[in-house]
Structure 1
Amino acid sequence: MSSDSGKLAGRRIVVTGGASGIGAAVVRMAAREGAKVACLDLNLKEAEALTASLSGQGFAVASNVADPASIRAAMDTAATGMGGIDGLVNSAGVVAIEPAAGMEIAIWQRLIDVNLTGTFLACQAAIPHLVQVGQGASIVNLSSAQALAPVAGAAAYAASKGGVQSLSKALAVELAPAIRVNAVCPGLIDTPMNKGLAKDGDSGPPVPLDRYALGRWGKPEEVAACILFLLANDASYLTGTSIAVDGGRTFH
């Protein structure tokens, strides 16, 4: 999708985890494509700083996707502020790479609570608003290449993101034809979350670059471009899909 094409003109998009990483790229690009954007994030200060640069096309809402009351209130606020919701992007997530044998149950539970349950709760809160649109509403959930080809230590993360893929397929069946639901599986993307996985001063990637056919980190904007395609009418016959935006990792 070319920048500033206006393919999302008139659309009203909610992005969870929208203050940084892939979510922030979606917020910026969706606004440039003509959409109104509600940036939902725990870090309200960063969300407000981002949306302040969107020439009045975006606003920030504090939310915790793992808390049913918080995400429901945030979604209702977003719908009121934009006059409805046409699209939802579930980008909020956390990551941990820990060996399964010694993993504390709190780590497992946090990843499931935020990545999987949080995605479900956001979808659940958005559905009453999305169904009012009729056909044309769209949900895009962020899964991961780790759900397709996990590395050692990714048991909790892979399980949570694999659940997102299955959830997306189930919702695609349940919500059709009014709402399309798809998942995107990013590979090694240059985000603060992924950079934070480096330990003991090691600046290398958590997955060796030789596992990627393209041999490099991906950019948040490269994932966001796929997400925007799935939100737009160009993808009107796509639902229940999972698209790997991973530089060739899952086949290489």
Structure 2
Amino acid sequence: MSFQGFDKNFNITDKVAVITGGASGIGRAIAELYIEKGAKVAIFDLKDDVNEVAKEISIEKAMGIKCDITDNESMDSAIYEVKDKFGKIDILVNCAGIALLDDAENISDHYWQKTLDLNLTGSFKMCQKVANVMIEQRNGGKIINLASQAAIIALDNHVAYGASKAGIVGMTKVLALEWAQFQINVNAISPTVILTDLGQKAWAGEKGEKAKKEIPLGRFGYPEEVAAIALFLASDATNLITGENIVIDGGNTIK
């Protein structure tokens, strides 16, 4: 076996990527960068304007599909549409998620179950369904799961969210082990607070300033910084990386 090399510009030309939660925030930033680097992208999202968002990003290289990742029929239908239009799936990025926060002694069954259903079970089901497509294609693939620093450190009022994201990291390792035989790389990304529209609102003012003091680099992150790691993990440069969790947190979890 000889080293085949990789595109040092980290292009993913002619690859087809599915991005859940891709209509806004981190997911949209990843979709935009993937297209810039030559990929075609299918955005799965519950937002009513997902198709319009896809057209804003690229009329030719992006498609938007309203999809509920807690519903098997919805996922199956969306995956079929991608294969029908683009012919294959090479990359999956699981960005869809929810943060329902409350203290552990009072969190409701609804908050707990909805968080696990969407963040963990929904992500697993997408991995399972897309991996089966990749296995049938016999050409490997890349799966990237969005976890969180909450998978690694304890955050107040994040019991359900933290459990779901820790589950993502554990799931990623098992899938990486089992699917290595099919040349499918499975990795996770764990960001700190990312300044999406929602992130900016949630961490504005004194709360945000206090939190930034806990971060050695002294700031939160930007969606484009997460997208850069998602591009790296989708590229051929990372063909030997699998089962890893890349933390983007300004050093917050090294303390």
TM-score normalized with structure 2 length: 0.91
Matched, 1:94 2:98: yes
Q: Secondary structure of 2:190's match?
A: strand
- Partner of residue 239, structure 1: 242
Give distance in 1, aligned partners of 2:46 and 2:177.
31
Q: Secondary structure of 1:152's match?
A: coil
Amino acid at match of 2:160: A
- Partner of residue 80, structure 1: 84
- Partner of residue 166, structure 1: 170
Matched, 1:210 2:209: no
Matched, 1:186 2:191: yes
Matched, 1:9 2:26: no
Gaps spanning 5+ residues in structure 1: where? none
Give distance in 2, aligned partners of 1:6 and 1:175.
24
Give distance in 2, aligned partners of 1:94 and 1:192.
14
CA contact (8 A) 1:18 1:47 kept: no
TM-score normalized with structure 1 length: 0.92
Bigger mean CA deviation after superposition, 238-247 or 201-210: 201-210
Amino acid at match of 1:221: E
Q: Secondary structure of 2:254's match?
A: coil
Gaps spanning 5+ residues in structure 2: where? 1-7
Bigger mean CA deviation after superposition, 17-26 or 172-181: 172-181
Pick closer, same or farther for the CA change 1:189–1:127 going to 2, 3 Å: same
Amino acid at match of 2:131: I
| RMSD over equivalenced CA pairs, Å | 1.9
Which of 20, 26, 29 aligns to 1:22? It is 26
Q: Deviations over 1:124-174 (max 9, x none)?
A: 221221123435411000000011112111110000000011111111111
CA contact (8 A) 1:51 1:59 kept: yes
Q: What's the CA shift for 1:44?
A: 3.6
Give distance in 2, aligned partners of 1:193 and 1:101.
26
Which of 43, 46, 51 aligns to 1:42? It is 46
Q: Secondary structure of 2:102's match?
A: coil
CA contact (8 A) 2:115 2:161 kept: yes
CA contact (8 A) 2:50 2:65 kept: no
CA contact (8 A) 2:10 2:231 kept: no
Amino acid at match of 2:161: Y
Amino acid at match of 2:194: I
Bigger mean CA deviation after superposition, 224-233 or 201-210: 201-210
- Partner of residue 121, structure 1: 125
> How many residues get paired?
247
- Partner of residue 53, structure 1: 57
Give distance in 1, aligned partners of 2:137 and 2:146.
23
Q: What's the CA shift for 1:121?
A: 1.1
Amino acid at match of 1:229: F
Give distance in 1, aligned partners of 2:179 and 2:210.
36
CA contact (8 A) 1:194 1:206 kept: no
- Partner of residue 110, structure 1: 114
Q: Secondary structure of 1:100's match?
A: coil
Give distance in 1, aligned partners of 2:29 and 2:136.
27
